[in-house]
Amino acid sequence: MNTIGIGLLGAGTVGGTLIKRLTTDHAAIAAKTGLDLQVRRVAVRDPGKSRNLDIPEGMFTTDAQSVIDDPEVDLLVEVMGGQEPAGPLVLRALEAGKPVVTANKELIAARGYDLIAAAEKSGVALLFEAAVGGGIPIIRPLSETLAGERLTRVMGIVNGTTNFILSQMTEEGTAYEDALAEAQELGFAEPDPTADVGGADAAAKAAILASLGFGTWVGLDRVPHTGITEITATDIRYADDLGYTIKLLAIAEDTDNGVSARVHPVLLPHAHPLSAIRGATNAIFIEGPAIDTLLFAGPGAGGDPTATAVLGDVIDAAREILAGAQVAPRIRFAPSSLADFGSVPTKWYVRLEVADLPGVLAQIASAFGEANVSIKSVWQEETGEEATLLIVTHLAPESEQQNALAAVNELDCVHAVAAAIRVESEEA
């Protein structure tokens, strides 16, 4: 039997589940892979905490460096989260020639380029399947299976909390605050949900998807992101009437001006496969000329699904240790240009509260026209003295759409730009 010693940084939701799986499924994993995976040492903040894990208490330590230094630890699993102290610890393990498996999207999105370079220099693996989409296999398909495809777009629901909230608002008519409270009660949302509802969590995943999908490193600072806090039941209802579902999407694409990655709510046609993804489920939709479209969907978080992804990486890294393989990074990152967001073609749904007077529509159309944005459709509802106008534009560079919105906002007849949400659909 080929024994591989594993050191863990973290034994919380993911790490604790991984330890359980390594003990309860030990024989099954050994039978299937020929690997005897043994937990050797585990760093935690509080070794006294009751964890209900079937490993000796003496394995726990607060000294994370001692896990890396332990000669019986052949590979490191980093599931502590955050950039500090996880970043320097992962780097030191790689420099010491130990492969690392991590579930830490924040770390990979922020420092992945340097960490991947360090792994390459040492000839060891740095694997992070669980960093995007939890239990959904997406990192390996993007970086290995699809490495020969010239992908055009990778678009995903990569945050379960926000998809749960939007699903509740859409299906039950629940108000945003109530849907968020429900997500917190059910454990889908953190007590501080800012990173989820503000889009930062999805932005880290978008950076990783874009980097792997297009072979160009996209830093986290190059991913503009907007969350769902401004989405109202009113717009969900109007969008539905117009044939769209509102989703928070991470969108990475190869545009004429370079690779672009962004996160924001979008109106998506009801018929799009991502519109059907409900609740906390995650899904990634991939487009390319040869594969046409692929949809990966499943549990984007949770101890068990995420531990399965980590376990897959552990098995992969263990096989490479035993093969004595010099591991190259799965994807090389070419220094190619990133598109400025202003140049990326977008289209918009805009809800305006306007004076119900003759000539108003003409003024609004001309403000859009002067900014080079043409209008695809207009729908009007009278509400007394005022009227609500729903406008969907054609594709135009993001900067021109923004100029149009600013110009419309200046018009005296426009009482409020009540909502402005991008639209993703096939037609221009």
Ligand X SMILES: NC(=O)c1ccc[n+]([C@@H]2O[C@H](COP(=O)([O-])OP(=O)(O)OC[C@H]3O[C@@H](n4cnc5c(N)ncnc54)[C@H](OP(=O)(O)O)[C@@H]3O)[C@@H](O)[C@H]2O)c1
Please give the residue ranges that form the binding site for ligand X (CB under 6 A): 10-15, 43-46, 49, 64, 79-81, 85, 103-105, 130, 134, 301-302, 306
241-242-245 Cα angle (round to 5): 85
Q: How far is the CB of 353 from ligand X (least distance, A)?
A: 40
Q: How far apart are CA 74 and CA 4, in angstroms?
A: 6
Q: Which is nearer to ligand X, 248 or 371 (CB)?
A: 248
Closest CA to 325 of 143, 181, 186, 123: 123
Q: How far is the CB of 135 from ligand X (least distance, A)?
A: 8
Distance of alpha carbon 149 from the chain centroid: 21
Task: Give the residue at shortest CB distance from ligand X.
Answer: 12
How would you class 24 by CB atoms within 10 Å of its CB: exposed for 0-12, middle for 13-18, buried for 19 or more?
exposed
Q: Which is nearer to ligand X, 81 or 99 (CB)?
A: 81
Q: How far is the CB of 300 from ligand X (least distance, A)?
A: 7
Q: Which amino acid, residue 169?
A: M
Q: Which amino acid, residue 52?
A: N
Based on C-alpha coordinates, what's the Rg of the chain? 24
Closest CA to 163 of 14, 274, 285: 274
Structure tokens given for 294? 């692929």
Q: Which is nearer to ligand X, 10 or 213 (CB)?
A: 10
**Choice among 20, 98, 205, 347 that is catalytic:** 205
Q: Which is nearer to ligand X, 80 or 118 (CB)?
A: 80
Q: Which is nearer to ligand X, 23 or 174 (CB)?
A: 23
Query: Which helix (H) or strand (E) covers residue 77, if one does?
Result: strand 75-78
Contact of 383 with 372, CB cutoff 8 Å: no
Q: How far is the CB of 85 from ligand X (least distance, A)?
A: 5
Q: How far is the CB of 82 from ligand X (least distance, A)?
A: 7
Structure tokens given for 336? 């190619």
Q: Which is nearer to ligand X, 92 or 272 (CB)?
A: 92
Q: How far is the CB of 158 from ligand X (least distance, A)?
A: 10
Closest CA to 371 of 347, 338, 337, 407: 407
Query: Which helix (H) or strand (E) covers residue 419, if one does?
Result: strand 414-423
The 8-class DSSP code of residue 225 comes to B
Please indicate whether residue 205 is annotated as part of the active site: yes
Cite the beta strand spans of 164-238 per DSSP E. none
Q: How far apart are CA 338 and CA 370, in angstroms?
A: 28
* Residues with catalytic roles: 205
